[in-house]
């Protein structure tokens, strides 16, 4: 049962921020003085920041002496074989 709850929590933590942007944007745009069409720019900028962060993680992993792929698998669990699944 714990695993099912964990899966639901992971799903909502990933999907909820993007869907909440669509609900919240009409009121947020007034605060930022932006047109309604600017809502499409927010996910693109978030994707750019996410990609830059992953590149920085991989670079810092290389400098620290670990595998250069350590930043790819989210802290390197998949790349190093240390995943929670076994």
Residue 47 lies in a domain: yes
pLDDT tens across 16-37, in order?
Answer: 776 777 788 888 889 989 998 8
Residue 23 lies in a domain: yes
Residue 85 lies in a domain: no
pLDDT tens across 39-83, in order?
Answer: 888 888 888 888 888 888 776 766 666 655 544 555 444 444 444
Contact indicator for 66, 76 with CB cutoff of 8 Å: yes
Residue 35 lies in a domain: yes
Sign of CA dihedral 58, 63, 68, 73: negative
Contact indicator for 46, 61 with CB cutoff of 8 Å: no
Query: How many structural domains comprise the chain?
Result: 1
- The boundaries of the domain holding residue 13 are 2-79
């Amino acid at each position: 049962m714990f695993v099912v709850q964990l899966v639901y929590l992971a799903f909502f933590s990933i999907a909820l921020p993007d869907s909440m942007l669509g609900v919240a944007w009409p009121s947020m745009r007034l605060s930022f003085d932006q047109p309604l069409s600017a809502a499409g720019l927010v996910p693109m900028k978030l994707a750019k920041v996410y990609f830059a962060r992953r590149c920085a993680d991989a670079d810092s992993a290389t400098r620290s002496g670990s595998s250069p792929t350590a930043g790819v698998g989210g802290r390197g669990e998949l790349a190093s074989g240390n995943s929670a699944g076994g």
